[in-house]
């Protein structure tokens, strides 16, 4: 594993396996290991509604030491520690995370807890990237194989987020070891993902691409990667909406995620992400839907400071000019059958007030290209969100 602060695209590409036969891909990866002990961290929805667990048990046989379904939306600390305990008890050599961003992120952090023998939630909180100490890892003995079933992009980044039992807020962790050792993209597996979740998580990756394109000082290479990611996601999501059974459109979206996440560990995101974190923890809104309702509004709010990148975005999504990007993005999201207005989420006034207050000290909100200095600025964005 590289010790560079932020793995580059070619390094992550070397970990990538694109294979429709999931079992074949897994067996190919573990074949080089003697006596592998495989633990699976599986999303609850896949465990309940598909034969994936039974298929894996049958094909992996004695090499499979357990299947855990403890991780849930927003990756609460309690569930992460539960999974870490299972990793240690089973003496796992490999862990497969199969599911969406919360399952993959939660597995990343559970591996940290198991590897560093962290005992308490307070100890874990001391390792977030917001602290002076940060996350220091010298060895990473257990291989992590991520198999995403949504388009959130957690599988490609050295970042991971979890909800603290202490602060009640989403906390972030950063270390190159958090990039999974291997990533299997299996578009066939994605057909089990509910359409709304697949498409809304795709908008989350659209958000990654766009907020990187609009980040101050973004370099040309990363900008080109994100533009390619946006193009693949835009066509792939529209294609899946029209033809949900098409694996080609799903594969394009998965590849789009790879490109769209290229700047996540290099550049701070903006208000769509920052307010989205608050909307998720305070309003209990899934990440994909936070991007659906916030991204168009943030694009409109930021226009005066991001006209050049929004001109580029306009060409990709078919808008006539930068001034129409926010509206075009809202129409694109609505055309996917997703909520594109904040009012549709029916948040309480108390929750909205808490979000406005918290935004003024939230580091990701404060990294927005256009300054957010007051509750009135936040209120403006929320008003633009409808």
> Tens of pLDDT along 304-349?
999 999 999 999 999 999 999 999 999 999 999 999 999 999 899 9
Report, as ranges of residue numbers, the positions in the chain whose pLDDT lies below 70. 1-7
Q: Residue 64 is inside which H or E element, if any?
A: strand 64-68
CA angle at 50 for the pair 45 and 51, rounded to the nearest 5°:
135
Q: How far apart are CA 47 and CA 286, in angstroms?
A: 20
Is the Cβ–Cβ distance between 12 and 179 less than 8 Å?
yes
* Helix, strand counts (H, E) of the chain: 17, 8
For the domain made up of 194-384, the CATH class stated in words is: mainly alpha
Q: Both tokens of residue 149? A: 């079933």
**Given this model, what pLDDT does residue 164 score?**
84
Is the Cβ–Cβ distance between 243 and 230 less than 8 Å?
no
User: Among all chains, which residue has been given the structure tokens 């008003």?
Assistant: 383
- Residue closest to 195 by CA, chosen among 332, 336, 96, 58: 336
**Given this model, what pLDDT does residue 5 score?**
44
**Given this model, what pLDDT does residue 167 score?**
79
Domain assignments of the chain as residue spans, ordered by start: 9-189, 194-384
**Given this model, what pLDDT does residue 1 score?**
34
Name residue 148's beta-bridge partners: 99
Q: Do domains 9-189 and 194-384 have the same CATH topology?
A: no
**Given this model, what pLDDT does residue 7 score?**
64
**Given this model, what pLDDT does residue 2 score?**
36
Q: Both tokens of residue 128? A: 């977030």
**Given this model, what pLDDT does residue 276 score?**
94
- Residue closest to 343 by CA, chosen among 309, 308, 294: 294
φ/ψ (deg, to 5) at 377 = -65, -45
**Given this model, what pLDDT does residue 343 score?**
94
Q: Residue 184 is inside which H or E element, if any?
A: strand 182-185
Is the Cβ–Cβ distance between 285 and 370 less than 8 Å?
no
Q: How far apart are CA 344 and CA 11, in angstroms?
A: 41
Residues 6+ away with beta carbon under 8 Å from 234: 206, 316, 317, 332
> Which architecture characterizes domain 9-189 according to CATH?
3-Layer(aba) Sandwich (3.40)
């Amino acid at each position: 594993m590289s010790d560079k602060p932020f793995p580059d695209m070619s390094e992550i590409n070397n970990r990538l396996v694109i294979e429709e036969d999931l079992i074949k891909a897994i067996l190919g990866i573990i074949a080089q290991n003697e006596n592998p002990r495989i633990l699976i961290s599986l999303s609850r929805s896949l465990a309940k509604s598909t034969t994936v667990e039974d298929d894996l048990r049958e094909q992996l046989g004695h090499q499979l030491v357990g299947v855990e379904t403890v991780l849930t939306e927003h990756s609460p600390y309690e569930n992460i520690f539960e999974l870490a305990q299972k990793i240690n008890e089973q003496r796992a050599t490999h862990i497969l995370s199969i599911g969406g961003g919360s399952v993959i992120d939660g597995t990343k952090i559970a591996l940290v807890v198991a590897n560093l023998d962290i005992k308490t939630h307070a100890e874990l909180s001391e390792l977030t990237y917001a602290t002076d100490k940060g996350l220091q890892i010298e060895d990473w003995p257990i291989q992590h194989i991520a198999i995403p079933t949504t388009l959130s992009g957690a599988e490609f980044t050295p970042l991971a987020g979890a909800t603290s039992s202490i602060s009640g807020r989403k906390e972030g962790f950063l270390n190159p070891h958090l990039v999974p050792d291997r990533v299997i993209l299996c578009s066939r597996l994605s057909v089990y993902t509910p359409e709304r979740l697949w498409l809304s998580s795709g908008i989350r990756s659209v958000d990654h691409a766009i907020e990187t394109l609009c980040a101050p000082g973004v370099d040309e290479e990363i900008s080109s990667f994100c533009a390619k990611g946006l193009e693949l996601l835009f066509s792939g999501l529209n294609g899946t909406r029209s033809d949900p059974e098409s694996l080609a459109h799903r594969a394009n979206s998965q590849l789009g995620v790879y490109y769209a996440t290229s700047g996540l560990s290099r550049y701070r995101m903006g208000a769509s992400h920052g307010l989205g974190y608050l909307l998720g923890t305070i309003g209990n809104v899934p990440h994909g839907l936070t991007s659906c309702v916030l991204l168009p509004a943030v694009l409109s709010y930021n226009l005066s400071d991001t006209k050049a990148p929004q001109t580029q975005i306009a060409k990709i999504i078919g808008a006539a000019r930068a001034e129409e990007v926010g509206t075009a993005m809202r129409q694109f999201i609505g055309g996917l059958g997703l909520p594109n207005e904040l009012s549709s989420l029916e948040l309480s006034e108390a929750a909205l007030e808490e979000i406005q207050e918290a935004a003024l000290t939230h580091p990701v909100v404060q990294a927005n290209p256009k300054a957010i200095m007051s509750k009135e600025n936040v209120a403006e964005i929320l008003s633009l969100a409808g």
